[in-house]
Structure 1
Amino acid sequence: MMKEKLQEVDFIKIEQQNLFYQFLKQIIGKSEFKMEDLLVAFSEEVQKPINKDLDKDAEIELRLDSVYDPRVKENIPVIRMFNKNGIVVENDAFDESEKIISIQLSDARLIDPNISVDDICEIEFTIDDLTDKMKSTVFNGWKQARKEVLKQITIEKYKDKINQKFIAKILKRNNNGSYNLELEDKTTVFLPADKVNQQLNLDYGSYVNIYLENINQESKLSILEATTISPLEIYELLNNEIPEVANGLIEIVNVKRRGGLRTKVSVRALSDSIQNELGSIIGQHSSRINDIKNKLIKEKIDIIKYSDIPEEYVKNALAPAKILDVIKEGDKYFAIAPDDFLTVAIGKKGINTDLASKLTGLKIEVISATDATKKGMSFDNTQVEQTHYFKSTTPRSNRSKASERFKDVEFDLETDLLFSEIQNSAIEAFDEINQEKPKAKVSTPKKPKLQNDEVDSLFESSLNQYKEDLSQNVYDFVDDLDKYSDDENFDQAEQEEVDKQVAKAKKDKAIEQFRKIKTQIKDFKVDNDLANYGLGDADINFDEFKDEEWD
């Protein structure tokens, strides 16, 4: 009877020890973390309450072993617990409540026949031999030990994968705008709010590309930290989309990014075969750079030509702003912009200047030409009164193939030539009207005469419409046609052909607006004042055509 009961107890003990082994094995999983190290961590958690409540000299050790299980007729792995510093006591002095720290002499001699009272003896015990209070302490300790072990496993697995790209699943959006993510192996990742690309759609259960940025060992939650605005994404896109970059013919010198808003990339040619590194990246009809922009969703990207000359590098880095000159004073570089271009040079919330400073590694301050003059700075101001810039980020639709190639171009407006064509077209329209003779009177009410101020209004309206339409077609970085023409390596014949087509596109668009006026004017009677009205004396101030502010 006692034998059967003992065997039953032994089976329970074996099952507990085997389950403990399975538990530890699951923690380790497929990692390279060693079972021996895990056993040490768990041994310490068992020893703490025993040292505190029973014996400060107790030394606990968990061991991996195997025992024969007659039910399966083979050895199975188990985890056994021992107090290596137990003490032998007389049989009549033995206390059952202290069986973890002491063993009666008769039982000790079953292990070692030569053992005596007060000798040190190894005592095996199970978790059930602990008091409820100690069990609670041990279990909480094991939970913490498990977290620490999993943390070490995660560190070992990902310490060499910083800056690598992963696909993560969205688990939760936190109140502060951060996100909890999950990798394919179920490892959780933290995405801080300031590392979130606001252009991305991060819905629960969706997947997103992330870059592992940091391992925060002090974190009590996910120790892996990621970003969706890494500059590495730009490097990867350029390497994949631009063969000259992939082949090492063009070097990406630096990348600075305000994720979801704007990125600046400085490049330089490493081979004499590259005549124009910027043109190589832009591609024919802007095809290459547009492919990259599409993959960045709404984020703008500026491709900057690198220069070893700091002043020139700063000037390039502030694109798409036109900078008249760069003056160094102390450790600061003053970038002087035309008054009308100051906001463009600084950018919304200072983004353009900030990215340019980070790209060049220099302190940059943008000031207007007027302020530079007041400060007594000597600079080249030849462009101040000569150039009119038009810029917009509003997309156009239904473009012809001819206009498509200019949709991303920032250009200078040749006002004299363009508006002389406009004026001639308008005069032709008025001449046609003046030549029409009234036929017979009709009984219908007369339409109101179009007075001079109404003509002015129509002309003003048409100019505004022209300016609005013209501002639709634009690109968002440094390489306007003027930039290319400054490059001594640029193909001059190709430049001249592009200039001709740009000029024609600008004139045709404006003239088309005035042809529409013909139709409107023909609906009105023309009085003598209108017949004598001419555009030659019109006072049109072209300086009001200022560049629009951009993000």
Structure 2
Amino acid sequence: MDLKKIVSAIGAIEENSNISSEVIIDALSEGLKTAYYRFIDVKKDSNLPKPKLRVEVSKKGEIKLYHIKTVVEEVNDDELELQLNEIVDLYPEAKIGDEIEKEVNIKSFGRKEISNLKNVFTQKIKEAHKRNLLDKYKDKVDDIVNAVVESVEDKFVLVKIDESDLALLAQREQIPYEKYYDGQRLKVIIKEVSDKTKGAPITVSRASKNLVKRLFEQTVSEIYDGTVEIKAIARVANSRTKMAVYSKDPNVDAIGACIGNRGSRVSAVISEIRQQDNLLTQESIDIIEWSDDYIEYVKNVMKPANIIGVIPKDDIIQIVVEDDQLSLAIGKKGINAQLASELLAKKVDIKTASALEEAGIDWQTEMAQYIAKEQEKRLREAERKAAELAKAEAERKAKELEQYLQQKALETEEQTKLDDEKSESVVDSHDEVTEKDEIKEKEVKEAVKEPEKEKIEDVVKETEEEIELRKAKIAAKAAKYVSKFESLADASKEEDDDEKTTSKRKRKETKEEIEAREIREKIEELKKQEYEIKPEYTEEELEEFENPDEDYWYYDDIDFDEFDKFYDEE
């Protein structure tokens, strides 16, 4: 066995398979041990203890195998033990219980041992490579990758992904009627990564619905940045794909964004899943609008059929159509109903309105009841969200208030410290002032306070006199007012009142007179508010008033227009 070739092979494996040298050396050690066990005829399934072995690989590329035996007084197994009196010449310092290592001549291995070494080494390297692939692709499930066809078999196709890693494209994951050839470039989705499968641990797919989804994410920028969201997707490979989309921006048309200008975007996706030179691959893509209104969403899913009724139940959806729409709703080979069931995640039962009426089912009432329940449910959900928002807002405000109060408390504490420092400095300065200075300050303050008190008393007195004078003026003005009948009945009364008022203005009233006059004025004002004062007349005067046609002396002597002018001024 050429050990130099083995060392060079280790370097090539490490470079091409991305496997660490430690893993390769462990695989080689395991192979050498297995080969040596076969060489000394140690059976694999034997219950007897196996000999201890150690493999050493130096930096220079030297490989050595050592057989370890234990020193004993009496040997029971030649492959495990050495007798002390037999090795005392070679190992004079040996004692019972010591372990002695003896190098094994690897070049003495026969063809069977070398074949066994090769098989074990290859198996260990494959397991290490498989673990690396699992670690590399376990987080890439449902990701789209570029692949190159490596070999085409009857029931599967081997493809190479990431330029070096082999993956399995099983027959069930292939698009029906799609043709493959060596060197063909494809886009595939990583379907499964598992260490339980034989052969390649990576399974890829061309028939998965996620392939179409990832292709749209790569082609449509609005889907990539999250403005448009793919809510649900269903696919029957090489037949039809239905995709429900929703726009988070009201200014962006979700369906229009996926279709693109003159259908450029959807055509790019179709070209990836349909071979242009193969007429047997004729897959189409339907893009529908997702709605939070479940009935409206079901109607969109069932297009191009016209739906007149939807009755959702626990595990099934009853769909009502007209008689001429039944075949369109089911679709060719039931594909439309199959896609609808996958999009809605429930079984779909399509019936005509006439069939339900014959069966005695009032589908319109059931649909109305469902709509009422949904509206009530939405209302409760809206109230719940509003309550959560209000609670979050209240918590936010409380937190802000708490932070504000904490900040204010800190500021107040700092200000208190500054004030305390200032007060201490002021107290220290005041301690130096003598008692005589304090007495002088008190005397000065008292001397200043006395004239201030006198001024305040004078101001108060003047203010009281001004108030009394203003009240007197108001009373005089009110006393001047008399009605027209009073002026006619007693003209001399006005002159007396004027004289009294004038005399009152001329001399200073006493406090008792002012209080009495204010009381009279209040009484007069109350009387004016409640009623007008009517003068008392004798019977003769009343009789004269009842005969206005007679010529009275005061018709000629009194100018009534002059008195009207007086009332106008009032």
TM-score range, shorter chain: 0.5 to 0.7
The aligned runs of 1:449-528 (5 Å cut-off) are none
**Equivalent pair of 2:234/2:342 in contact (CA under 8 Å):** yes
**Equivalent pair of 1:109/1:115 in contact (CA under 8 Å):** no
CA-based RMSD: 3.6
Match of 1:261 among 205, 229, 239: 239
> Which amino acid is the alignment partner of residue 146 of structure 1?
I
Equivalent position SS for 2:329: helix
Structure 1, unpaired ranges of 5+: 1-12, 67-75, 382-551
Distance in 1 separating the partners of 2:89 and 2:191: 60
Cα-to-partner distance string for 1:256-279 (whole Å, 9 max, x where unaligned): 2222221111111211323x4323
The aligned counterpart of 2:140 is: 161
The higher-RCO structure (CA 8 Å, 6+ apart) is 1
1:195 and 2:173 aligned: yes
The aligned runs of 1:298-313 (5 Å cut-off) are 298-313=282-297
Equivalent position SS for 1:28: helix
The aligned runs of 1:214-225 (5 Å cut-off) are 214-225=192-203
Distance in 2 separating the partners of 1:134 and 1:288: 62
The aligned counterpart of 2:447 is: none
Gap change, CA 1:332 and 1:131, over 3 Å in 2: same
Match of 1:360 among 327, 344, 349: 344
Match of 2:52 among 59, 80, 83: 59
Larger Rg: 2
Gap change, CA 1:301 and 1:28, over 3 Å in 2: same
The aligned counterpart of 1:455 is: none
1:277 and 2:246 aligned: no
> Which amino acid is the alignment partner of residue 23 of structure 1?
A
**Equivalent pair of 1:179/1:192 in contact (CA under 8 Å):** yes
TM-score (norm: length of structure 1): 0.55
The aligned counterpart of 1:25 is: 11
The aligned counterpart of 1:141 is: 120
Distance in 1 separating the partners of 2:170 and 2:259: 33
The aligned counterpart of 1:120 is: 99
Cα-to-partner distance string for 1:414-440 (whole Å, 9 max, x where unaligned): xxxxxxxxxxxxxxxxxxxxxxxxxxx
The aligned counterpart of 2:543 is: none
Distance in 1 separating the partners of 2:86 and 2:338: 82
**Equivalent pair of 2:7/2:61 in contact (CA under 8 Å):** yes
Tell me by how many angstroms 1:146 deviates.
Answer: 2.6
**Equivalent pair of 1:167/1:183 in contact (CA under 8 Å):** yes
Distance in 1 separating the partners of 2:85 and 2:25: 30
Tell me by how many angstroms 1:255 deviates.
Answer: 1.9
Gap change, CA 1:211 and 1:79, over 3 Å in 2: farther
Gap change, CA 1:352 and 1:134, over 3 Å in 2: same
**Equivalent pair of 2:233/2:244 in contact (CA under 8 Å):** yes
Equivalent position SS for 1:77: coil
TM-score (norm: length of structure 2): 0.54
Decide which structure has greater helix share: 2
**Equivalent pair of 2:17/2:129 in contact (CA under 8 Å):** no
Cα-to-partner distance string for 1:382-424 (whole Å, 9 max, x where unaligned): xxxxxxxxxxxxxxxxxxxxxxxxxxxxxxxxxxxxxxxxxxx
1:86 and 2:69 aligned: yes
Aligned residues: 349
The aligned counterpart of 2:151 is: 172
**Equivalent pair of 2:148/2:159 in contact (CA under 8 Å):** yes
Distance in 2 separating the partners of 1:25 and 1:108: 42
Gap change, CA 1:113 and 1:65, over 3 Å in 2: farther
Gap change, CA 1:269 and 1:376, over 3 Å in 2: farther
The aligned counterpart of 1:249 is: 227
Distance in 2 separating the partners of 1:327 and 1:41: 64
Distance in 1 separating the partners of 2:7 and 2:145: 33
Gap change, CA 1:137 and 1:341, over 3 Å in 2: same
**Equivalent pair of 1:327/1:335 in contact (CA under 8 Å):** yes
Distance in 1 separating the partners of 2:201 and 2:249: 44
Equivalent position SS for 2:232: strand
Match of 2:313 among 329, 335, 342: 329
**Equivalent pair of 1:18/1:79 in contact (CA under 8 Å):** no
Distance in 1 separating the partners of 2:356 and 2:208: 37
The aligned counterpart of 2:215 is: 237
Distance in 2 separating the partners of 1:109 and 1:310: 94
Gap change, CA 1:126 and 1:314, over 3 Å in 2: farther
Match of 2:24 among 9, 28, 38: 38
1:343 and 2:327 aligned: yes
Cα-to-partner distance string for 1:57-109 (whole Å, 9 max, x where unaligned): 3122333313xxxxxxxxx22333223x235699xx9x9xx899879999998
**Equivalent pair of 1:88/1:116 in contact (CA under 8 Å):** yes
Tell me by how many angstroms 1:196 deviates.
Answer: 0.6
Equivalent position SS for 2:307: coil
> Which amino acid is the alignment partner of residue 256 of structure 2?
G
Distance in 1 separating the partners of 2:262 and 2:120: 65
**Equivalent pair of 1:40/1:62 in contact (CA under 8 Å):** no
